[in-house]
C-alpha cells in the first residue's frame, strides 16, 4: 500500500497568513494526488484534484502543486472559515490511502 | 439536487451485523464507481471499499476483507455496505463517496454527510 505522510500534523496561523501543507508519498504517484477539507460534523470537501486542479466552486486562495512523491497544498491568505483538517489522498492505486491529516487552527 | 444520503447506522453489539445504505440523487448513478470511507471520531479518514458501475468489481481494505460486502442496486440508485462480525474498532462515521475522473485521474467529488456506527456491548 502507498503511504502518505503529511506535515505538519497541526498548525496555528493568523487570518491573512500564507499556509503550506506538505504531503509525501512512499512511492511515485505521478499527479494522482487529491486534497480534501474536513470540518467536524460535515462531509469532506474536495479542494484540489490531480495535484493542482482547483475543484469548481473552491476559492482561488487554495492551490496545489507537486508530482512524483512530494506535494503541497497552499492557502494564500487564510480566512476564518478555513479552520478545518486537511487530508491528502492518493488515487494511483487501491487502497486509496489518505494522509493522517493536518489540523489548521486560527490564531 | 446532486447528493448522497447515508442511512442505517446505529448501535450494535460486537459480533453483530448492520447494513448501511447510500441513496444517490441528481446524477446518473449507474455511471459512477462508488466508495465507502470511514472516520473514527477524532481520527483520520480511512478508505474502506469500492464498487464499479455494474457491481461486478469490488475491493476492500484488509481490515474489513471477509467481513464487509459492498453492493449496489442501480434501479434504486443505492449502494450498500453489509457489515458482519463487527468489532469495536469498526466504530466510526461511514461516508459514501462518488468517484469522478479528469485527466484520467480519479477523485471523490461528492460525499454524503455520513452515518455513525457504534459497536459496543
At A25-72, the pLDDT tens digits run: 999 999 999 999 999 999 999 999 999 999 999 999 999 999 999 999
**Residue B2 banded pLDDT, cuts 50, 70, 90:** very high
pLDDT in tens, A68-106: 999 999 999 999 999 999 999 999 999 999 999 999 998
Look at residue B103 and tell me whether its pLDDT is greater than 90: no
Q: Which residues of B touch A55 (CB under 8 A)?
A: 109
Cell of A49: 484534484
Percent of chain B whose predicted confidence (pLDDT) is above 70: 100
| Cα–Cα distance for residue pair A39/A57, rounded to 1 Å | 17
* A96 Cβ contact partners less than 8 Å away, ≥ 6 residues apart: A89, A90, B35, B47, B50
Average pLDDT over residues B8-33: 98
Per-residue pLDDT, B106? 97
Per-residue pLDDT, B22? 98
pLDDT in tens, A67-78: 999 999 999 999
Starting at the edge strand found earlier in the chain, the sheet holding A102-106 runs: A10-13, A102-106, A84-90, A33-38, A45-49, A53-54
Interface of B with A in 5-44 (CB under 8 A): 35, 37, 39, 44
User: Does any CB of chain B come closer than 8 Å to the CB of residue A99?
Assistant: yes
* Nearest alpha-carbon partner for A71 in A39, A11, A103, A30: A30
CA distances to A34, B59, B63, B116 from B9, rounded to whole Å, are: 28, 22, 19, 5
Cell of B92: 466510526
Percent of chain A whose predicted confidence (pLDDT) is above 90: 98
Average pLDDT over residues B42-57: 97
User: Does any CB of chain B come closer than 8 Å to the CB of residue A36?
Assistant: yes
Average pLDDT over residues B76-82: 98
Per-residue pLDDT, A106? 87
User: Does any CB of chain B come closer than 8 Å to the CB of residue A107?
Assistant: no
Cell of A57: 466552486
Q: Which residues of A touch B109 (CB under 8 A)?
A: 46, 49, 55
Q: What is the 3-state secondary structure (H, E, C) of chain B?
A: CCEEEEECCEEECCCCCEEEEEEEECCCHHHCCEEEEEECCCCCEEEEEEECCCCCCEEECCCCCCCEEEEEECCCCEEEEEECCCCHHHCEEEEEEEEEEECCEEEEEEECCCEEEEECC
- Cβ neighbours, 10 Å, residue A43: 20
Percent of chain B whose predicted confidence (pLDDT) is above 90: 98
Amino acid at each position: 500500500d502507498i503511504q502518505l505522510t503529511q506535515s505538519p500534523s497541526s498548525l496555528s496561523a493568523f487570518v491573512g497568513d500564507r499556509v503550506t501543507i506538505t504531503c509525501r508519498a512512499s512511492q511515485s504517484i505521478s499527479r494522482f494526488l487529491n486534497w480534501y477539507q474536513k470540518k467536524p460534523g460535515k462531509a469532506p470537501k474536495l479542494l484540489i484534484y490531480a495535484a493542482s486542479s482547483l475543484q469548481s466552486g473552491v476559492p482561488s486562495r487554495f492551490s496545489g502543486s507537486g508530482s512524483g512523491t512530494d506535494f503541497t497544498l497552499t492557502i494564500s491568505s487564510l480566512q476564518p472559515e478555513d479552520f478545518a483538517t486537511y487530508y491528502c489522498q492518493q488515487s494511483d492505486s487501491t487502497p486509496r490511502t489518505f494522509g493522517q491529516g493536518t489540523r489548521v487552527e486560527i490564531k | 439536487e446532486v447528493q448522497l444520503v447515508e442511512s442505517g447506522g446505529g448501535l450494535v453489539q460486537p459480533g453483530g451485523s448492520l447494513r448501511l445504505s447510500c441513496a444517490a440523487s441528481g446524477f446518473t448513478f449507474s455511471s459512477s464507481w462508488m466508495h465507502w470511507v470511514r472516520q473514527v471520531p477524532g481520527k483520520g479518514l480511512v478508505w474502506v471499499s469500492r464498487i464499479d458501475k455494474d457491481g461486478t468489481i469490488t475491493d476492500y481494505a484488509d481490515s474489513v476483507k471477509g467481513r464487509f460486502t459492498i453492493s449496489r442496486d442501480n434501479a434504486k440508485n443505492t449502494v450498500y455496505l453489509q457489515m458482519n462480525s463487527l468489532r469495536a474498532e469498526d466504530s466510526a462515521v461511514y461516508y459514501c463517496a462518488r468517484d469522478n475522473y479528469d485527466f484520467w485521474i480519479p477523485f471523490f467529488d461528492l460525499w454524503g454527510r455520513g452515518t455513525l456506527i457504534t459497536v459496543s456491548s
